[in-house]
Structure 1
Amino acid sequence: MQKKFLRDEEYSPSEDTFFISDYIEKEKGFSALDVGSGSGYLTKLLWENFTFVVGTDINFAVLKNQTYPTQNLVCCNGSDALNLEFDLVVCNLPYLATDKVLDAATDGGIEGFEIPKKIFDSIYKNIKIGGKFLFVTTSLSNYQKLMEYTRKLCLEPRILAKKKLFFEELILVEAVRQK
């Protein structure tokens, strides 16, 4: 059995966080969910344009000590503990393609698909019909497989933007729930 390690410290905002935040700032609505809230950076940003915001994270210690503290935090895997629908769901996925998941904040498992798939399975029920799911992935993972999987969940994905970094390209995807 693979061991998954949770660090005591949060995943600090970095290039991928700021990449998705540029798009989150443009979104408005009643309800939003940040899956993998970590530092609370994106969750706090969502509070600026949404009336009701929830942040989830698998790591209780991280939620308890967020750098950008917010309300409505739930410790759970993905959004397993929630039975609510949201206008917008965001996730800075653990997308790195790895043979073993050693860091739950960054490692996506085989092809960078294994862990994101579990997150998608958890959250798709929480997206309102017509609602959006914004997520970041990378050219180093099998992002095409991830996009195909979103279609199986009745989400229509499209690439909003790409950002070249030294060794990879970040990819921002918007997936709208069809039914």
Structure 2
Amino acid sequence: MGDEEVDEGVPALAERRDLEQVYQPAEDSHLLAEAAREAVEPGERALDVGTGSGYVASALAEAGAEVVATDVNPLACEQARESGVPVVQANLADPFRASVFDLVTFNPPYLPTPPEEAMNDWMERALSGGESGRVVIAPFLETAGRVLAPDGRVLLLVSTLTDVEAVEELATAAGFTTREVADESHPFERLVVLELRR
């Protein structure tokens, strides 16, 4: 939205919500980053989808991967670049050629959000997974499958709020095998990192 479209008397949604516009590392980010560090081999090509601040991508780079990241949010891309992460403003893995990445990581927006509670800003896009919490996962599986190298794998962060079994069913329908490689319990949810392979 251009400055000319902003009503000067109404604070931006992010200001009303007291939220930043770029998702910052939290428990889910830490769990995925640790799983990614353990999974990646030095010299492998890795893609971090929806990179936010670039935290997981940075962990992959520190582990020796050749990493690139994507995010739809231009503010996230700017912050990730400031952290030294090569990033492309894009939806999921859309701009990349087929069969190029050894590892794809994704911490998707997974909070179930009823339509009447949706707020149309960048932080909402980083958090909300639609009513089911899985609205971004099916399109991600399609694009991730396309860009994976023949022996590549995906690390996907999911929550029990999103229904882990339902995510596994989506992955199976997309041609992947799944296994849990990390998890962490919190008061209202269990976070799980799924490894997906063709």
| Whole-angstrom CA distance in 1 between matches of 2:150 and 2:175 | 10
The match for 1:19 is 31
| Whole-angstrom CA distance in 1 between matches of 2:173 and 2:72 | 25
SS of structure 1 residue aligned to 2:126: coil
Q: Deviations over 1:124-162 (max 9, x none)?
A: 211112211001111111221211111122211111222
- RMSD of the TM alignment (CA)? 2.1
Of 106, 117, 122, 1:91 maps to 106
The match for 1:171 is 192
The match for 2:139 is 118
| Whole-angstrom CA distance in 2 between matches of 1:145 and 1:124 | 18
Tell which deviates more after alignment, 43-52 or 132-141: 43-52
| More strand as a share of residues | 1
Please tell me the residue identity of whatever aligns with 2:102. Answer: D
Contact between 2:35 and 2:182, CA under 8 Å: does it hold in 1? no
Unaligned runs of 5+ in 2: 1-12
| Whole-angstrom CA distance in 2 between matches of 1:74 and 1:174 | 24
Superposed displacement of residue 68, structure 1: 5.9
Structure-2 change in CA distance of 1:158 and 1:68 (3 Å): farther
Please tell me the residue identity of whatever aligns with 1:73. Answer: V
Unaligned runs of 5+ in 1: none
Please tell me the residue identity of whatever aligns with 2:34. Answer: D
Please tell me the residue identity of whatever aligns with 1:69. Answer: S
Structure-2 change in CA distance of 1:99 and 1:74 (3 Å): same
| More helix as a share of residues | 2
Q: Deviations over 1:60-108 (max 9, x none)?
A: 1221133862243110110111115200000111111122354110111
| Whole-angstrom CA distance in 2 between matches of 1:16 and 1:25 | 14
- The question of 1:33 aligning with 2:47 is answered yes
| Whole-angstrom CA distance in 2 between matches of 1:138 and 1:94 | 10
Larger Rg: 2
Contact between 2:157 and 2:192, CA under 8 Å: does it hold in 1? yes
The match for 2:62 is 48
* TM-score, normalisation: structure 1: 0.87
